[in-house]
Structures are given as C-alpha cells and as structure tokens.
Chains A and B, each alone.
Chain A
C-alpha cells in the first residue's frame, strides 16, 4: 500500500519545515523570515495545480478522439482539482509578500477565471454528449491560451525578476539552496504530486460510482 507512505512523507516535510532554519535569507527578506517557511507548501501547490490543468487538456484530447465518457470524467476531475489546488495556493500566498505578489495573484486569478468559465459552460449545457464535447474543446483552447499567458505575463510585470527566490537562485543564477532545504523541498514536491494523483483517482472513482447509481435507476 504505497499510498500509506504519503502520510509519513508529508509529516516529515512539515516537521522539517519548522525545525530547519527558515529558507529565507534574513538579509534580503522583505517580510517576516519565519513566514517564508510556507515556501515548502505553496510552490508545490502551484505546481500541482498547473499539472492538473495540463492533465485535463490531455484527457480532453482523448475524449474527443474516443468519445469515451470516462475521459470527460477524468478531465472534469482534473479541472476540479486544479481549481482546488489553485485556491489553496491563493490562500497560502494571500497577504504574503507584497512586492511580487501581484504577478502571482494575477496569474492565479486568471487561472481561476479560465477554469471557472469551464464550470460555467458545463452548467449551461444539458445534453451529456454536447456538454462533454464542448467542455473538452474549451479545455484545450483554455490550456493553450494559458500557455501563451506564460510568455505574456512577464510583459505586464517586468518586476517579476524581483523574486524572493533570491534564495533559490542567487545573483549569478546559480542554485544557492542549502542542501537540506533542497531535499525537503524536493520531498514536498514528490509528496504533493503523489497526493494529487491519489485525490485524482478517488475523484474519478466517486464520479464513476455516482454515475453507475444514477443509470441503474
């Protein structure tokens, strides 16, 4: 039962996040140094949200090619989880770092807008087949646009370079994470990803089961 490993792994991350010295260099910190420990938790959340939306796009493509309703279910689960983790990321970074929070808040807000639109579309369509196909089409269009946005955002916020990740990459662009920080961060990323796929799997199974119950009536 590998899933059980997720528990101690995350627990370890939590403990290390508070026991180790804060990953933020006190000299360049713009906020409370300790608060930056959240770094171990919010970056992986953002990664998982982005991953989820990309997964959603591939499921949508699969749906359009095979018309298998299970793919629609998977795309829906992916988009749902994407919004969940994006919201978690938003809550964690709210009120965090005033200088560069704009770009994070903006990209987050846009992401929520995009996938909120996805759910608005789903609720406006009643026919199952139409809804599944149209949602798949929109997901693909949305995700492609979101990818474009990655290139576009640095234009609105050139101050993006003013990242407090000066702790990760110093002025010469070299990795300056201390090894312990890097390990814990890496572990957090892996654990978050594992947790994500577990939640993803459960969401799909719940959907399938509910669908089975409904169609047996």
Chain B
C-alpha cells in the first residue's frame, strides 16, 4: 500500500479547511456568535442610553460581550462532530494535536470575524474610542488567542457530556478569568491613552497565560480525544 505522508502543516490546514467548509454550509456557529454579540451590544447600548460610564466600565463591558458571544459559538466545533458522527473519521485522519490546532485556528477565525464586526460598532454605538489603538489591538489579539486556545479543549470535553451548552460556560468562565482580568486592564489603559509601559504587567500576564494554556491544551488533548 503506498504510503502518503502528509506534513503536519498539511494536516492542520486540511482540518481548518474542513471546518471552514462545513461551517459555511450551515453557518451555525458563525451566526450564533455574530447575532449574540450584536444583540448584547444593542442591549448594552440601549441600557446605557445617554449615560457614558467611565472607561473602566466600558472596558469591562467590551470583554463581557466578547466572552458571552464566544461561549455561545465556540463549543460547536466539537459538538457537531459528535452529532454528525464524523468524529471517528477525524480520529483516523489526523493526529490529535493536528485536530486540536486546526480547530483552534478555526475558532480564532470565528473570533476575528466577530471582532471585526464588533469593534467598529462598539466605537460608534457606545462612543468609546481607544486612544492608544495599537495597544488596544494587541490586547484584543492576545485576548482572543487565549480565548480560542483555552476553550477549544473544553469544547472537546463538553461534546461528550450531557448538558453541553451550560456546561461549556460553567467550565470556561473560571478558566478564562485571568485572561479577562488582564485583557480588561489592557483595554482600559488603551481607552485612556496610556502607553505600553502602563499596561506592561497585564500584557506579560496575558502573554504568559496564552502560552501556558495553549501548551497545556496540546499536552492534555490526547487524553480527551483518544477515548
């Protein structure tokens, strides 16, 4: 039997492309995330009315919207494998880590789409412009990398459990807390025009978190996937 060895990058890319294809047939998770973030944003904007609370609140609100939108859409990536019984094929095709990374990248893509939509709307509707836009973007990027990196493995765990939706939020929230706190602080500094030094320790924390959680996910995923 001829053996075709496909490189790791190849497998990861294939998993990612497969996710994109299957997702854009139904757009289930994509819609969930976009709609959820829009709705939450609208609710926040309505409730605030003319009041413009300080930058601390605005920074916190931004990440709350992000968190809940993520919680609504990111669990799909494994649940659909279980529901359509394609998990077995995926296991045969690629090593566990490639599957995980492919799906993390996919979740990251979802989050980027949401962010691209959310940020301009947030700025317009809630009248908040980050003074230090570069810092804001970096904080945002690090934040969503951490979001995707730590929640994808949780999505895999939840896909085999019985109460999927609520369980995903319950499990993800405490894990994401350090990320949320650090990201909110960075966003806050960027809103008020501080420089990188002011956000320095939060940036370090967030970066450390991203690296540690991603590594941890990769190390632990085997145990989740191979059952």
Contacts and interface: CB of A to CB of B under 8 A. Distances in A.
A touches B (Cβ under 8 A): yes
Interface residues of A, number: 30
Interface string B174-204: 1111100110010000000000000000100
A112 B19 CA distance: 36
A113 interface: yes
Interface in A136-159: 136-138, 140-142, 144-146, 148-149, 151-152, 155-156
Contacts of A19: none
Q: Summarize A's interface: helix, strand, loop or mixed.
A: helix
Interface in B183-227: 185, 202, 205, 208-209, 212-213, 216-217, 220, 223-224, 227
Interface residues of B, number: 32
B182 A133 contact: no
Q: Summarize B's interface: helix, strand, loop or mixed.
A: helix
A113 B160 contact: no
B224 A152 contact: no
Given A121-B167, A121-B171, 14 more contacts: A113-B173, A114-B174, A117-B170, A120-B170, A126-B162, A137-B223, A140-B220, A141-B154, A142-B174, A144-B213, A145-B175, A146-B174, A152-B177, A152-B178
B227 A124 contact: no
B72 interface: no
A137 B221 CA distance: 8
A144 B212 contact: yes
A133 B153 CA distance: 13
Contacts of B117: none
Given A121-B167, A124-B167, A130-B160, A140 B178 contact: no
B21 interface: no
Q: Which 10 residue pairs of A and B lie closest in terms of their CB atoms, listed nearest first?
A: A148-B178, A124-B161, A114-B174, A145-B175, A152-B178, A152-B181, A124-B162, A137-B220, A117-B170, A134-B157
A16 interface: no
Contacts of A140: 216, 220
Contacts of B37: none
Contacts of B76: none
Interface in A97-146: 110, 113-114, 116-117, 120-121, 124-126, 129-130, 133-134, 136-138, 140-142, 144-146
B163 interface: yes
A133 B223 CA distance: 7
Contact of A152 (B154, B182, B217, B220): B182
Contacts of A134: 157, 160-161, 224
Nearest to A145: B175
A190 interface: no
